[in-house]
Structure 1
Amino acid sequence: MAIILEQYLTTGPFNDMEAQLVASISQLLFKLHHRAAQTKRIIEFFHVSKSGGTSFCQLAKMNGCRTQSFNSQRNCMIKYFRFNFYANELVMHDHNRSWVGVHPCREFLNVVIFREPQSRVVSHMQNILKEYVIYYNQSLWQAFNPNSVDQWRTLAVPVFDNYVVRSLLGGQVYNMPWGDVNHTHLLGAKIVTLQFEVLLSLAPETSELTRDIFGLGLGWQYDLRHMHVRPTIWRPVDEFSAEVMEAVRAAGRLDEQLYEFALVLQLLDAITFGIAHDVAGMDGILSADSGDGDGSGGGDIDDVMGGLEAAMELSTSDTDVDWAVNGNGGDPAAAAATPEAGQRRLMGACGIVGNFTTAIHPGSPHGFSNRNSLATTNRY
């Protein structure tokens, strides 16, 4: 798809024969994505801290997915597999204790959200301070100066040195000393990023692309337009010093390059899915794939419609976040009736992965699918 886009930007619009070929290629790639997702049947969400992960977890609930707990304190982490959605809020799996060859588990439909690095780091810093002040006590300020670059670099090494690159390359790279992450690690992180089937971002300029990928890449009716967890209003520090902010910018130079790379991949996905859906007429093919003739992927629309109300059943332990249901007063029927509802959506319980559970324990060999990730092939 990158080659096709480059050709279009270089030579201009395609003729009729070329346009039909592009539509056929997009149709094939989208169909491969959809069938692979149905085969894998479980979503693994790689939750990079302060990048919309709590919102994504709640959206999974709204879209009919099942996990051990949707409580914000659990954030969809699970102890064993008996569900079709779970979140990894740690680092990428590095089973051989080396970052070389680290990759997402190919048995799952892998999803990741990227956020602009500087805003992500500042949010991360504020969250660290909040956790210590609220859950411990005010004596933090006697031991820690939030405007000391040296203290941040000493006590929060990953946060202050390309956190996302570190997270994507597993525990060994994540725990490397400050300043040791380099362009070789950036290349490795790009290779890992290529292997995610679904790439999302929080950038305002890509909100329309993100909306379409929610619908076409995951088959979810509800997306970040319908639900988000707003940052808590209270902040331990009003603002950081100029010295600290300069260090924040320096701390994410490789993350910034990775972020820009991920936005390009997201654009390629949105183009591929969009052409397949709008031009090649994928609805009929997807209906045939689902086996039920209604294009829903075999799911129950009632599961999805009930999700919006279910997501608002918050426990008393969720007082540290500010929940928001966007538009129509949180009424699921009204939300479904908006002009955008139903467009570019492949609806069903938990979207494409559908209704499936398994009782395989993490210690057991994975055996869901022999399909390797198609993401790299599709984009390039």
Structure 2
Amino acid sequence: MAMDTKLKLRDWAGVSDLILDLIYQKLPSLSDCLCFGAVCKPWFFFVSNNNYDALRQRTGSSSVEELPLLMIFKDRASASTANTSLYSVTRGKIVMDLEIPLGWTHRCCGSSHGWLAFQGDFSFALYNPFTREKIDLPRLELTATKVILSKNPSANPNDYEVMAMSRNWGESRLAILKPSSSYWKFVRILTGCPKCDVIYYDERYYVVDYGGKVFSIDNTTLKYTEIAPDYGYGGFIEFYLVQTTTNELLRVHILRPQYKPSRVKILKLVASPMTPESRIEQLDSLGDEALFLCQHSSMSVLASQFSGCKSNSRSEYCSVDIVHLQDDSFNSHCSFDKLIHDTHATMPPASWIIPTLKL
């Protein structure tokens, strides 16, 4: 009985760095490190200041690859904060809860390199929920529906760009914020359809609209060129642009009759960025690639590097369905009608995010 009482009264926040380091070196993934750091503030500071040498040695590289997690935006904790949960597809469960220190006046509009983008009526900010870093950006006079970063601001604080896109009908502009700039530059693409997705690929921006047209934007002059024509199908289709781990550019088509996925088509775009002569090749298989798609963030990983991750598959946040492309079979993980999310409608139901730590 005395020993049980002693365990209950143990000051876990006061565990020595030596003991913490012995535990930390046994952690197999970055998401485990994040869960470790979420136990209490002293453990969080230990993880933040550790430099991740143990993880680097185990992965054999200078950067740590990690499987995307689904960040589920739940209700507000208060007028200034929001509660979120991180869901692991491979584990089939929520692995961590996080608090976002932004209020009702801010709307989440992007996830890129582990950072979230938030737009307010008079403000615009980037926030990393894992390192708790916040970067205030100039006000943007555009209702952003997707925001991407050219590089990770944690690793490249003076050499990253921000691209904001609107999916709204009648809004033909995109906005780019250059490093150290105090104002946004606008690119106007005149097309009959709103923009559907944008990606930073090989030092250029590529945009696809709801008709399937793909445009290449020169990163210096900000002039654009149409490099792929309309898809030519009359039904409702969502298009995504995704870069594979082998540096190929994919245009993913998802046909949604009555908003339910029924067919997926994957095309490889062999881009000729300055001319409309790009070549499009249909793919029957993704090989070892696994795609993670949503309106705010899309990415591809090598499935063989992660236990439980299925190759030649696509994951969407709508209901966390895993689609196996060879036979079009579906495996459902969870559905958002069973989850509580933001009742103020300033957050998306969920978004893919890659766990990051400041190296």
Query: TM-score, normalised to structure 2's length?
Result: 0.28
- From the two aligned structures, give the one with the greater strand fraction: 2
- From the two aligned structures, give the one with the greater helix fraction: 1
Query: TM-score, normalised to structure 1's length?
Result: 0.27
Q: Higher relative CO (CA 8 A, sep ≥ 6), structure 1 or 2?
A: 1
